Amino acid sequence: MGHNSTFPTFLQNLILPLRQKTVKLLVIEDEAGLRESIEGYFAEDGNICETAFDFSSAMHKVSLYRYDCIILDITLPDGSGLDILRHLKEQEHNEGILIVSAKNSLDDRLTGLDLGADDYLTKPFHLSELKARVAAIVRRKSFDGNRRLRHHEIDIDLASKEVKVEGVNIKLTPKEYSLLLYLIANKGKVISKNAIAEHLWGDSIDLADNFDFLYSHIKNLRKKMVEAGGKDYIQAAYGMGYKFAD
């Protein structure tokens, strides 16, 4: 995304660990059930997660405070989320913005992205997918030139898509790479197989047995990381999903 940080690179590197730890989020969502789930899912990691349930309270919050990322529902009871987006862009605020909408309408998607939203997610979505998308946006926003993602001994160069474990380059297939990023973004969480499968293959193909393929990707990824001398982070969770240990 076309955002240029005003910070010099060495300063960025200094604040990088800090920024990675706490992310300040605003969830603008009128559906209480969904809002609470999102809040709960994000807050567990020590992120600061604020919420707004309608247009006016959302406008109030975005005019007063700054966030790393705003999760924005387009259809609000007293206004359009797109207007909040317009307002933010007019004020030249640099929040990462992820639009969530029940309308899988291309027009909304295009309008949203044209207005400067960073991503668009259609309801219903898995919280793990939301988290991965938010993480990607926050990463993009916070360190532009130096796009590296670290998780203990795992070092990922996001630009060249190179993964090093204990300094050893490991070769991952595109699906394994995408899987690894997804797992790291949701570290410490149980992610259902459905969520991972949907992330890897999209929802247009509904293969009954794609869990087998998911299993083989997980197996290969584990093997490659362990062989390179890394810890075995990926755990099977109760037979219904996986968990990436923190």
Q: Is there binding between residue 78 and other proteins (CB under 8 A)?
A: no
**What residues between 147 and 206 interact with other proteins by CB under 8 A?**
173, 175, 189-190, 192-195, 198, 201-206
* From candidates 1, 168, 207, 245, binder to other proteins by CB under 8 A: 207
The tokens for 161 are: 């898509």
Asked whether the beta carbons of 163 and 155 are under 8 A apart, the reply is yes
| Cβ-based nearer residue to other proteins, 124 or 167 | 124
- Cα distances (Å, whole numbers) of residue 130 to 106, 157, 163: 19, 22, 23
DSSP 86-143: HHHHHTT---EEEEEES---HHHHHHHHHTT-SEEEESS--HHHHHHHHHHHHHHHH-
46-54, 64-72, 156-164, 234-242 -> range binding other proteins (CB under 8 A)? 234-242
- What is the x/- site pattern for other proteins, positions 81-110, by CB under 8 A? ---------------------xxxxxx--x
Give the footprint of other proteins on this chain (CB under 8 A): 31, 33-34, 37-38, 40-41, 44, 102-107, 110, 122-128, 173, 175, 189-190, 192-195, 198, 201-208, 210, 212-213, 216-217, 237-241
